[in-house]
Structures are given as structure tokens and as C-alpha cells.
Amino acid sequence: MDDRDIAIISAVVAQQNIFLHQLIMLLNDDDDEDFNFDEDEMLDWVTAIKTQKPGRLWSYKRFGTFWEKDVPENNEAFFKESFRMERPCFDILVNRLEVLRKKDTNCRAAIPLEKRIAIALYTLGSSSEYRTVGRLFGVAPNSVCNILHEFCRALIHEFSNEYMSPNYLTSDKIDECVKGFEAIGFPQCLGAIDACHIEIKPPAAEAVDHHNSKGWYSTVLFALVDHRYANANILHKNM
């Protein structure tokens, strides 16, 4: 039992003592003629409250130290392999997604902002299940899920104006695309996406970032089109 557990138990006992004190004061109030009670039954009830054991603590100890130990002890290549980006890009996300920071509570310390972003990036960049990522980072599987969804929502809110067209994924645009695809035989469809490799000659220092699985250097062009074959969004990245 650590200091935090002792503090929680002490708080519970103190609250019970306050309640008992208020109850005793009420029992000793002779002016309240309407207050009727069985003295023996009340005494047994009060004794039971004083002797009951504290409830089980809901905190579950976890021991994953990937972020606290493995990441700091390895080099930049390990960081990029784990989170699919270099530290300067990671730092930009930390600075601009301050909305994801949580406050500590009386029961436990909040997951740091940097670790929350790392969990989301690792989950997006791998095929691991939530429980596998949770064990790696020392958090619950449902926390991984919540962190991922919060990260994606915050990312869209913060960066959509810079990287997406103003009418991208508006309510009117979504309704128009879904109805358009349904009219041509594709119900519940928002868009059609495809990608292709475009061969390039990258600088020597960046060559490894552009080397694809086919053995040559390229950048990947992603295109999303609507039911009229019009480009809804275009993105390119390294592979």
C-alpha cells in the first residue's frame, strides 16, 4: 500500500467521522419531538459503520514503461520508427494540441500530454490491438481508445483549415456525396479513394524516407473523389 492509497483511506474514514458526529448531534437534540427511533437498532447501525472495512480501491497497477524508459534510452531512428515522425514534428503536435492536456485528480495523476499523443500516434501507425498498446504504455485498453478518438477530433479541429478545403466534410457536402453515390448504385458511400507512386529523385539525406517496397524512390499521391469524379481532397506523403 503506497502513500496515495493511505491518503484515500484516510479521507474515507474522516468523512465517516464527520457523518457520525452530525448523527450524534441530532440524537442529542431534545427539541426535536418528531424524531423517533429505536435506540438499540440505531446503536447497532452506528457501530457497523464504524467497524466496516474501507472499500476496494478502483485503481489498477500497470507496469508498461515503453514511453518512460524505452523511448528516452533509444535514438531518433527508434522514435521515428515507433511514431512515424521525427521529434520536431511531434513537438509541433504537442504545442498545438494543448486541448488534450488533462488535470490531475485526488485519486491519480493524469496521463501527460506528450504520452497521450504518443499513444495515439503509435496506435495509428501499427496494427496492434488496444489492449496490446495499453500494456506497452501502462494504461487501460479503454484509455487507449478514448485517447485515440480525442486525438483525432483535436487534430481535425486544429489543422483542417490549413490542409482541407473549406467545404470538405461539411454537412451539406456529405449529404450531397452520399445521395450521389446512392443514385449510381453505391449506398452509404461518401467517396472513392486511391493512390499511386510518383517516381522522384530525393536528396541523399532523405532517400531512405522515399524508398518504397518496389525498390525505387517515390512519393505517394492519395486522391479522394466524389460521385462526379471531382477531387474532394488530395494528399501526398513519403513511403
23 within some domain:
yes
CA distance 154 to 152: 5
Range of the domain at 229: 171-238
For residues 93 and 43, membership in a common domain is answered with: no
For residues 178 and 158, membership in a common domain is answered with: no
b/e burial code for range 131-140 (CB count within 10 A of at least 16 → b): eebbbbbbbe
pLDDT, position 239: 46
More confident residue, 145 or 172: 145
For residues 99 and 182, membership in a common domain is answered with: no
First to last CA, the chain: 49
For residues 80 and 111, membership in a common domain is answered with: yes
131 within some domain:
yes
The answer on pLDDT for 119 being more than 90 is yes
For residue 157 the three cell numbers come to 479541429
The H-assigned helical ranges of the chain are 3-27, 39-51, 71-73, 76-83, 87-96, 113-124, 130-137, 141-163, 171-183, 207-210
CB atoms within 10 A of CB 211: 15
For residues 10 and 74, membership in a common domain is answered with: no
158 within some domain:
yes
For residues 126 and 202, membership in a common domain is answered with: no
pLDDT tens sequence across 125-149 = 887 889 999 999 999 999 999 999 9
Q: How confident is the model at residue 170 (pLDDT cuts 50, 70, 90)?
A: confident
b/e burial code for range 176-204 (CB count within 10 A of at least 16 → b): ebbebbeeeeeeeebbeeeeebeeeeeee
The answer on pLDDT for 114 being more than 80 is yes
For residues 47 and 95, membership in a common domain is answered with: no
User: Do the Cβ atoms of 122 and 46 come closer than 8 Å?
Assistant: no
Domain count, the chain: 3
User: Do the Cβ atoms of 198 and 217 come closer than 8 Å?
Assistant: no
For residues 136 and 79, membership in a common domain is answered with: yes
149 within some domain:
yes
For residues 134 and 196, membership in a common domain is answered with: no
56 within some domain:
no
Q: Last residue of a domain, which of 129, 144, 163? A: 163
Order of strands, sheet of 231-238, starting from the edge strand that comes earlier in the sequence? 192-199, 218-225, 231-238
The answer on pLDDT for 32 being more than 70 is no
For residues 145 and 88, membership in a common domain is answered with: yes
For residues 26 and 103, membership in a common domain is answered with: no
Q: How confident is the model at residue 3 (pLDDT cuts 50, 70, 90)?
A: low
Q: How confident is the model at residue 36 (pLDDT cuts 50, 70, 90)?
A: low
